Amino acid sequence: MAQKSKIRIGDKVPYFTLKDQNGTNFSIENLVHKKNMVIYFYPKDDTPGCTKEACSFRDEFEDFKDLDTVIIGISGDGVASHKEFEKKYNLPFILLADTKKEVQKLFGVPKSALGLIPGRVTYVVNKEGTVIYIFNSLRKAKEHIKKAKEALQNNIRKH
C-alpha cells in the first residue's frame, strides 16, 4: 500500500513532538533556525545493524557537533528501551520513541521488503528546516553517517 506523503529533498521538515530517552517531550520545532539536523529512522534498539549505526554516529559525534548539527535517532521502541540502548553504548545524542509510528508515517519512511521491518532512512536538514539530503538503505547502516556528513559539508561550502 503506497504511503500518502513522502518527504523529499527541498521539503520543509515536518514539525513533531515525541518523548526522548529520558521521557521528556522533544519538539523538532525548537531546532529549526538554530541547528542543522540529522534525523535517522532505524528499525530497533540493540540489533546488530542498528547498534553499528548508532555507534558510528557516536564515534563521529564531535564531527557533527563541529558542523553545528544535532543527531536524532527515531524508532518504534519505547522510552525505557531507548534509555537502555543509550546507556549500554554511551550514545551522546537524542533518541525519540515513535511507538505509534506516527512520525515514520509523517515522513513516509518505507518498510523493508515484505513490510516486516521498519525502514532505515536518514534525513539531513539544514538550519532553515529544509531537507537537503535523504539516504535510504537498510543494509548499509554505517554508510548513513558518511553520507550525512558529506551532505552537511557540501551545504556549508555552498553558503
Residue 123 phi/psi, 5-degree rounding, is -115, 130
| pTM to 2 decimal places | 0.90
How far CA 77 is from CA of 41, 87, 133, 140, in Å, comes to: 11, 15, 25, 21
Sequence-ordered list of residues with C-beta below 8 angstroms from that of 72, at least 6 positions apart, any chain: 26, 28, 37, 38, 39, 40, 93, 94, 95, 96
- Read off the pLDDT of residues 29-63 as tens digits, 9 standing for 90 and up: 999 999 999 999 999 999 888 899 899 999 999 99
Domain annotation for the chain: domains and CATH numbers: 17-158 (3.40.30.10)
Percentage of the residues of the chain whose pLDDT score is greater than 70: 89
4 vs 77 pLDDT, higher one: 77
Whether 54 and 91 have beta carbons less than 8 Å apart is answered as: yes
Q: What is the DSSP string of 118-152?
A: B--EEEEE-TTSBEEEEEE-SS-TTHHHHHHHHHH
Lowest-confidence pick of 25-29, 68-72, 117-121, 124-128? 117-121
pLDDT greater than 90 at residue 3: no
Beta strands at 17-20 and 94-97: parallel, antiparallel or unpaired: antiparallel
Q: What positions carry a catalytic annotation?
A: 50
Rounded Cα–Cα distance for residues 132 and 97 (Å): 24
